[in-house]
Chains A and B, each alone.
Chain A
Amino acid sequence: MAGHSSTEQDPGLTLTTQQPVAQQRIVDLLQAAWAVFVKDLRIELRTRYAINAMVLFAACTAMMVSIGTTFIGLRRTEEALLIQASLLWIALLFAAISGLSRGFVHEEETRTLAALRLAAPALAVYLGKFLLNLALLALLGLITSLLFIVLVRVQVGSPLAFLGMLAAGGLSLATSTTILAAIITRASFKNALFAVLAFPLLVPPLIIAIQGTAATLAEGGWLPALPALQFLIAYSVAMFVASLLLFRFVWEA
């Protein structure tokens, strides 16, 4: 009789004890990730290495485009909008490539990789660095588009859709490159290699982002940009999940 009652109670017991444990683990992971993010943000704010590199690059590009081709800002043909969108994403891409590997390369340069490996679980490190890259890209996207609006006379026809496009494009940049930054920390020719590894993975989302951004520069609202947004978000989700699965192997290598 006693044995019967204990078998009845067991599943309930394990359920009530396991669920909080799993939840607790996720909360711990997210807290660790947040700690990594805050640490990196603090380092970045002290040195401002990545922000400086990225913003200066974007500013230079916007200046060059402004000096060379101001007249395209005055036209509103379909081709002119595509050219404006391409130039904007060229500036964003190369600025991003010059700064996004910073999070991991910095750890290697200051020889803090081993300490970080001891202090935080792999996924927390990835999520922390990913958040930092996302924050950097958000800032870079806003500054670069402001520069383009002011210097290149880009007129944004549908501002909300344009912001959505910038966010989705930035998301796919961050999801595709964060794990690559971890891969190149242990290689030679780090920055050149980062560009080489990142470019093939960025071709599909960038093509779509350029087309979508060109659509948002015209006065069409959300609808013309919707397929591009869907593609970018799907791409980001796939790359993010793949990164979560693969990061363990990169981190322990």
Chain B
Amino acid sequence: MVQQMAQVGKLLIGLWMAGVTIVMFLVIPQYEGLGNAGRIIIMHVPTAWVSVLAFAISAIFSGLYLWKRKPTYDDYAVAAAEGGFLFTALATVTGMIFSQVVWGIYWNWDPRQTSIFVLLLIYAALFALRAAIDDVQRRRQLSAAYSLFAFVTVPFLIFVAPRIADSTLHPNCVFIQGSTCDGISLDVGMIGLLGDRKIQLIGMEREGDLVTAEVIVSEPGLSGETTLRPSFNLATGTMADRPEFPGLRYQLGLEYVDPSINSGLLNIEAPGTGLLDNQITLFTFLASIAGFTALFVWMLNLRADLLGLQWALAQRDGGRV
């Protein structure tokens, strides 16, 4: 009965993932400015999510093993690490393909690339450690300790490293509409930095309820300048005209103007057809995350069972000899 249910579950996951793949290529609209390459996000982000999830699960089972000393927990920790390694490799490769197509470079030591590279190294180190210790008990205990020790670095990788390094190619707050980039408040005549562009607020004019700001935007590396005129409606308190940055799909918005019209809050905004703005895209994305997570859990259980079986067989044979 349980076996039949497992069979059904396996088939369901297969159908689910096939559906996600078909929708990903045929149904969802292209992302403006990225073309067909943008579709890879449906695979890339979920695999990256699963690789971090796998790492956490591996650490949890390592901790459980050190606490309870049940071999099953170690089997699960190993199975999670192996699955995680696979998904980390997939996330890296899909990211590299996208990076080459859209940004023209496979690898540029972006903070997120650095962290996933370290994650790959940690998995590899864990397997090397397991291979180098003969005694089973000792192997389990030492690799569990290393797994937990390595897990301590994760918060530093995820939260701290991207904040210290200066540049990233990864989409940030700008990418998803409705999320909050902080923007920058400038007095008239002041210079500020928005994303990787230098901006200068030259002046603001009021016509009725409409305040129009004159902003000089410099290209990265100060290779060129453009003047943009975003505006703000004082009566409704909303942005009116949001011009696009030159050569980019992002818009410059004037989010707030102080009553004396001496300073304004400027922000970078995603264009109207945001990637996750589209309902079908959003649901496909979520379905893909759910599907990959289910796939990982199935792989985890299968591999852990197999490891337990191997161990039982080895013990039985050892007993005979």
A residues near B (Cβ < 8 Å) are: 179-180, 183-184, 186-189, 193, 196-197, 199-201, 203-204, 207-208, 211, 227-228, 231, 234-235, 238-239, 242-243, 246, 249-250, 252-253
Contacts and interface: CB of A to CB of B under 8 A. Distances in A.
A197 B133 contact: no
Interface of B: 66, 114, 117-118, 121-122, 124-125, 128-129, 132-135, 137-138, 141-142, 144-146, 148-150, 152-153, 155-157, 160-161, 164-165
A239 B152 contact: yes
Contacts of A193: 128-129, 132
B54 to A, nearest CB: 16
B152 A227 contact: no
Contacts of A239: 149, 152-153
Contact of A243 (B122, B149, B156): B149
A249 B141 contact: yes
Contacts of B148: 242, 246
Given A196-B128, A200-B150, A200-B153, 12 more contacts: A184-B129, A187-B129, A187-B142, A188-B134, A200-B121, A204-B118, A227-B164, A235-B156, A239-B152, A246-B148, A246-B149, A253-B145
A200 B145 contact: no
28 contacts: A179-B149, A180-B146, A180-B149, A183-B145, A186-B135, A186-B138, A187-B133, A188-B132, A189-B132, A193-B128, A199-B121, A199-B125, A200-B121, A200-B122, A203-B121, A204-B118, A204-B153, A208-B161, A208-B164, A227-B164, A238-B155, A238-B156, A239-B149, A239-B152, A242-B148, A246-B148, A250-B145, A253-B137
Contacts of A231: 156, 160, 164
B257 to A, nearest CB: 33
A242 B149 contact: yes
A200 B122 CA distance: 6
Q: Is the interface of B mostly helix, strand, loop or mixed?
A: helix
Nearest to A212: B164
A200 B160 contact: no
A253 B144 CA distance: 11
A249 B157 CA distance: 25
Contacts of B157: 204
Contacts of A246: 145, 148-149
Nearest to B127: A196
Contacts, number: 97
Nearest to B137: A253
A197 B130 CA distance: 11
A200 B157 CA distance: 11
Contacts of B122: 200-201
Nearest to A179: B149
A2 B78 CA distance: 62
Contacts of B118: 200, 203-204
Q: Kindly name the residue among A188, A201, A207 whose own CB sees the greatest number of chain B CB atoms within 10 A.
A: A201
Contact of B129 (A197, A203, A238, A242): A197
A204 to B, nearest CB: 5
Nearest to B123: A200
Contact of A249 (B135, B145, B150, B164): B145
Contact of A186 (B142, B153, B156): B142
A49 B305 CA distance: 47
A59 to B, nearest CB: 28
Contacts of B153: 200-201, 204, 235, 239
Contacts of B121: 199-200, 203
Contacts of A184: 129, 132
Nearest to A197: B125
Given A203-B114, A204-B156, A197 B164 contact: no
B64 to A, nearest CB: 13
Contact of A253 (B117, B134, B138, B150): B138
Nearest to B119: A200
B132 A249 contact: no
A201 B142 contact: no
A186 B142 CA distance: 9
A71 to B, nearest CB: 25
A101 B118 CA distance: 22
A56 B293 CA distance: 50
A201 B161 contact: no
B89 to A, nearest CB: 15
Contact of A207 (B114, B135, B146, B149): B114
Contacts of B146: 180, 183, 197
A189 B132 CA distance: 7
